[in-house]
Amino acid sequence: PAVPVPADDSSRAAVVGLAMGMCSEAEALDRQACLELSRLEYLQGTEWQKRPQVDLARAVKRYQRPAAGAPPPPASELRPLPVLERTVAYLLQQWLARGDVPPINRYVFISDRLRAVQQDMTVQRLHAPILLARIVRFHLLMELEFCSLANAPSAGYSEVQNRSLLCNALISALEAPAQLLPAALHAELLSYFVLLHADEPA
């Protein structure tokens, strides 16, 4: 397979995100009102209430598929790179190894929120291969974890979708400018790329 090469996007105007939280208060409260919070975002002590409350410190921006023809989101709804890095660190450090949360619940929450991270990166045209590498490793780990389960959950996990998200993050990382991609990391990511496409015809 052809190895991705950096894309030239210098002709497009850059957008710089201004949202300083992992999730805007407006989105968090809207999802609270619509009963669309993840259980991992509930305010402690309200989990069993008819209308659980959101913990704004735990809420993370949800992925939303852009409507056809819709303008890009305003800068006020986009998180800049430092906030995206903090968000990914929170997701992976706080929730990935939590034994008290069922694996599928962890996967659905983290995967969706990481997808929103990549969406913010795409709109702003951010090149952050080190951050993307963490997302790549997450999806690789999940593929191994769910394939090792005797009874993989039928709802919430799709091997095809997980592989698609993995490949999207991997290609985006490999397309980063060379000066942002350390040699060791490039070799690691390239090895993943080759292994994932090993069954394809030359």
Going from N- to C-terminal start, the domains of the chain cover 22-59, 80-202
What pLDDT is attached to residue 197?
85
What pLDDT is attached to residue 150?
56
Mean pLDDT to the nearest integer, 169-182: 95
Mean pLDDT to the nearest integer, 38-46: 97
Q: Is 10 exposed, middle or buried (0-12, 13-18, 19+ CB in 10 A)?
A: exposed
Model pTM score? 0.91
What pLDDT is attached to residue 69?
82
- What does pLDDT average to over the chain? 90
The CA distance from 181 to 48, in Å, is 46
pLDDT digits (tens, 9 = 90+) for 101-128: 998 999 999 999 999 999 999 999 999 9
Mean pLDDT to the nearest integer, 47-54: 96
Mean pLDDT to the nearest integer, 187-196: 96
The CA distance from 117 to 62, in Å, is 9
Give the torsion sign (CA, 159, 162, 168, 171).
negative
Q: Which of 40-44, 64-68, 105-109, 191-195 shows the lowest per-residue confidence on average (mean pLDDT)? A: 64-68
The angle at the Cα of 58, spanning 20 to 167, to the nearest 5 degrees, equals: 80
Q: Do the Cβ atoms of 172 and 132 come closer than 8 Å?
A: yes
The CA distance from 126 to 172, in Å, is 10
For 94-200, where are the alpha helices, taking DSSP H only?
A: 103-124, 129-148, 159-174, 183-196
Confidence of residue 72 (pLDDT cuts 50, 70, 90): confident
Q: Do the Cβ atoms of 159 and 142 come closer than 8 Å?
A: no
Q: In degrees to the nearest 10, what's the CA dihedral of 201, 160, 127, 135?
A: -120
- Other C-beta atoms lying within 10 Å of the C-beta of residue 58: 19
The CA distance from 68 to 79, in Å, is 22
Q: Do the Cβ atoms of 176 and 127 come closer than 8 Å?
A: yes
**Position 51, amino acid:** R
